[in-house]
Amino acid sequence: MTRVLRESDLYPPLRACLETLGYTVRAEVNGCDVAAIKGDDLVVIELKRALNVSLLVQAVERQRATDSVYIAIPRPKGGAWTRQWRGVKRLLRRLEVGLIFVAPRSRVRRVEIVLHPEPSAKRKRANVRRAMIEEMAGRSGDYNTGGSTRRKLVTAYRETALRIAHLLDRNGPSTTRALRTLGAGPRTTPILYDNVYGWFRRVARGTYELTDPGRAALIEYAELVARF
């Protein structure tokens, strides 16, 4: 029995295709399934198992950050040349949204870029674009899978918190200054102070130690921690 394709199945071949084109790719960035950047070119791709109104709404919403917005779905029977898909492409051109077909189980042409979005005159929200680029820059690698659900995402914030936890686990109670010197990063103090995940405990002014939940997090994210 053939397993039904999931949205997350579309991500690996799509990522490989984008990386071949020279893009740096990250999954699940600020609510977007896939974000890719090359120079000043920011591309956003939304993944779905089928084309629907919800997907189109998501794509149009992403245009606040960039003109290069695509939707990616499993390649339909007959490809893009049926009467139905000719109409769909006309609609997507009106919406200025690109279209990508993905065939994860195919041996050839696993990713087909059917339609590129036309240049848009819409004004973009600079803060939305900047937030996405900063989030991508803050991640050392791609630890999420585009299209996945019900999984804790490895955001730039979580990665920095794990780096701090790793340093505390290795060196014992440390000051914020010492942690920054060891490479924890400029966000060390607010992350320790806010303690969003409950991983840290203040033991003296400006000095913190790792809690049991913090040690458990290092085990949960062992693959990522091993890269530090």
Contacts of 146 (CB under 8 A, 6+ apart): 7, 8, 10, 11, 14, 15, 27, 28, 33, 34, 45, 47
For position 124, what pLDDT does the model report?
A: 65
Question: If you search the block for the tokens 């009467």, which residue do you land on?
Answer: 83
Cβ atoms of 34 and 11 closer than 8 Å: yes
For position 123, what pLDDT does the model report?
A: 58
- Reported as a single tens digit per residue, the pLDDT across 110-136 is 899 999 998 655 556 788 888 889 889
- Between CA 106 and CA 5 the distance in angstroms is 13
Question: If you search the block for the tokens 């942690």, which residue do you land on?
Answer: 179
Write down the domain spans for the chain.
7-137, 156-225
Of the options 3.10.50, 3.40.1350, 2.60.40, 3.30.70, the CATH number for the domain spanning 7-137? 3.40.1350
**Dihedral Cα 112, 114, 119, 124, nearest 10 deg:** -60
Cβ atoms of 24 and 38 closer than 8 Å: yes
- Between CA 37 and CA 81 the distance in angstroms is 30
CA 49 → CA 6, 9, 46, 62, 133, distances in Å? 7, 10, 10, 19, 27
Q: Which position has the higher pLDDT, 81 or 221?
A: 221
- Reported as a single tens digit per residue, the pLDDT across 85-106 is 888 988 999 999 999 999 988 8
Q: Say if residue 204's pLDDT is above 80.
A: yes
Query: Of 42, 8, 9, nearest to 28 (Cα)?
Result: 8
- Reported as a single tens digit per residue, the pLDDT across 138-158 is 888 888 888 777 668 889 999
Angle, vertex CA 69, rays to CA 7 and CA 145, nearest 5: 30
- Reported as a single tens digit per residue, the pLDDT across 147-187 is 777 668 889 999 999 999 999 999 999 999 999 999 999 99
CATH of the domain spanning 156-225:
1.10.10.10
